[in-house]
A and B are shown apart, each in its own frame.
Chain A
Amino acid sequence: MGLVEANNLVIQFGGIRAVDDVSFNIDQGEIYTIIGPNGAGKTTIFNLISRIYDPAAGTITFDGQDITQEMPHRIAQLGIARTFQNIELFENATVLDNLLLGCHRHCRTQFWQEIVFLPVVRRQELEHREKVEEVIDFLGLQHYRDQFVRSLPYGVRKVVELARALATEPKLLMLDEPSSGLNVEETQDMAFWIRDIRQQLGITLLMVEHDMKLVADVSDRVLALNDGRVIAEGSPSSVQDNADVVKAYLGE
């Protein structure tokens, strides 16, 4: 049984079927990538798993549990973290505060305890701080720890967003175009990190990515979409050579 099972997902916006009868299965410990031309429905699938959208039909199972009806904020509690295509960070907070928010799903203190800052709150803060420092070490963000996100360059923000997702200690990490806007060197770093995240932290990854070199480099399996439909699935090289995929990207 896979970690994520999507069965016959359908969603419609107006007359357009953005996702049309899509099924896939992500195994524990896998790096699974969704590719496809613009508007193929890749990010929509992310938003379906994040429960930002309600599917018109179909089900999503995570870790053996049907999450099709879950509340959006519960998704993080279950162990799914994500990044966004156009970086969604807390601009007017420090990198540290951004990462600490990643620990939100592990918070156990009650509001009344926090308002008087009981020792239990302090202990929890220190505990979370240590976790966050591990992530900072892992991604080499020491230098930016106390800086405000709004003052950081794009490449660093991208890493901070990845760090924040890791701070939730997820079982499944969803990366929406991790290499977009990065230069060659930064993309290489990202590829290393993606592999490390799987190997060292044992986190399953689901990616949407356009950079085919990165995709071929790190992915175990690739799902190709076009106009909301699955056109190919398999190893990176087999999908790249698939006639339908070539047609979707290059035309007849």
Chain B
Amino acid sequence: MRFIFKTTYQQDIRMYRHGGDIFWYGLLMLALLVAPAVLDVYYIGELTLMAIFAIAGVGLMLLTGYTGQISLGHAAFFGVGAYTEAVLIEAGWPFLLSFPTAGLLAGAVGVAIGLPALRLTGLYLAIATLAFAFIVEEVLARWESVTHGYEGMPVGDISLLGMEIDMEWKLYYVAIAVLILVMLAAFNILRSPTGRALVAIRDSEPAAQSMGVNLAKYKTLAFAISAAFTGLAGALYAHKLLYISPDAFTIFMSIELLLMVVIGGLGSLHGVVFGAAFIILLPQAIAIFRDELPSMIAEQPGLEAAFFGLILVVVILFEPLGIYGRWLKVKHYFAVFPLYRKATFKRQKSYTRMTQH
């Protein structure tokens, strides 16, 4: 087991805890860098999707996992980001301008829903955000002069610093780069006063308020950041799909996003990536196993949705910390081997993190 002897306060602020962190993250970076050279183009596409969902997941994690505000309407921000990007690219904006604009506009929409949501919590907030998502979906479908309605609209290629992003692996690098930036931003938020204020709101609003946290300001801010990150993901998603229509951004996507953060592990940034991998890989796994299943089950419509639901129930019942929680436990098991005690994690509850971030 590793014991860290702290000698300066900087050690609690740093991004890595010890040399091992640098090594493993370095290795991960290297693997991501060489992936397009090694992997089939199909898998690169899947990795791109994973990165895109993880970007949105970071946004939702900040809101749900860290601020404790549930949202069933994140597909709306995804959609706003995607359509803003598509429209602006069509209007001839450069990617470096249209992409941040997509995020900012989604963020502004996030403020618009965040303000009326200030007085709502729990189930009521879930319903309000859900209703909001339906409104946005309807606007996307009806505002035909801009969005072309259900007909959908094509999305032009990114041209970045004179280079056309027209291949799968190029978009992959863009998505990974954005994911890393978004992760860094989230990490910085979490280790600074704003992040602590968000966690404070999650755990006790009266205490947060009595310590001088402006609840209205920080809740609105949480909605804004969350929506902006999700909007960025939406913009990349538009480029991934090449053709977008309102039915890509429905309630099902909102639920998928929420599943992602819950299954990945609420209150951890690692969990976002695990959750994204899960969300993208599960349909693949189901597709593979479908051939093996008896035709009675395999031919049922809605098999995927049923599986998602089943897994969500199992996770909430048995592993409230999600995949990341399981990962920590496995790590702990090997760290203390052979002294692992069964009761080590007996008192855990949901909404917890065993180590920071």
Q: Do A and B bind each other?
A: yes
List A residues at the B interface (Cβ < 8 Å): 50, 52, 71-77, 81-82, 84, 88-94, 96-97, 100-105, 107, 109, 111, 114-117, 121-122, 124-126, 129-130, 148, 150-151, 164, 168
**Chain B residues proximal to chain A, CB less than 8 Å:** 9-10, 12-13, 185, 188-189, 191-197, 199-200, 202-204, 206-215, 221, 267, 347, 349, 351-353, 356
- A151 near B196: Cβ-Cβ < 8 Å: no
Q: How far is the CA of A143 from the CA of B9 in the complex (A)?
A: 16
Docked-complex contact B206 and A150, CB < 8 angstroms? no
Residues in chain A near residue B202, CB distance under 8 A: 90, 92
In the complex, the chain A residue whose C-beta lies closest to that of B186 is A115
A93 with B203: CB separation less than 8 A: yes
Task: Please name all residues of chain B whose beta carbon is closer than 8 Å to the beta carbon of A93 when the two chains form the complex.
Answer: 196, 199-200, 203
CB of B332, distance to nearest CB on chain A (Å): 15
Contacts A73-B213, A88-B204, A88-B206 supplied; 13 other A-B pairs, CB < 8 Å? A73-B209, A74-B212, A92-B267, A97-B199, A100-B193, A100-B196, A104-B211, A104-B212, A104-B213, A114-B195, A125-B191, A148-B352, A168-B211
Residues of the B chain whose Cβ atoms lie less than 8 Å from the Cβ of A168: 211-212
The docked-state distance in angstroms from the alpha carbon of A84 to that of B353 is 25
15 residue pairs of the A-B complex, CB under 8 angstroms, read: A52-B209, A73-B215, A89-B203, A93-B200, A97-B196, A102-B211, A103-B193, A104-B193, A104-B200, A111-B221, A114-B188, A115-B189, A124-B193, A126-B9, A168-B211
Please determine whether B12 and A76 come into contact, CB atoms closer than 8 angstroms: no
Which residues of B lie under 8 Å from residue A111 when comparing CB positions?
194, 221
Q: B349 to chain A: which residues have CB within 8 Å?
A: 150
Contact of A129 among B12, B194, B353 (CB under 8 A): B12
In the complex, A117 Cα to B199 Cα: how many Å?
18
A61 to B308 CA separation, bound complex (whole angstroms)? 57
Q: Across chains A and B, which 7 residue pairs bring their CB atoms closest together, nearest first?
A: A76-B212, A114-B192, A88-B207, A105-B212, A90-B203, A117-B188, A107-B193
A252 → B minimal CB distance (Å): 38
Closest CB of chain A to B186's CB: distance in Å? 9
Which chain A residue has the least Cβ–Cβ distance from B206? A88
Does A109 contact B193, Cβ atoms closer than 8 Å?
yes
CB distance B200 to A109 under 8 Å?
no
| Cα(A63)–Cα(B64), bound, Å | 39
State the Cβ distance, B136 to closest chain A Cβ, in Å.
25
| Residue from B10, B191, B200, B356 within 8 A of A90 (CB atoms) | B200
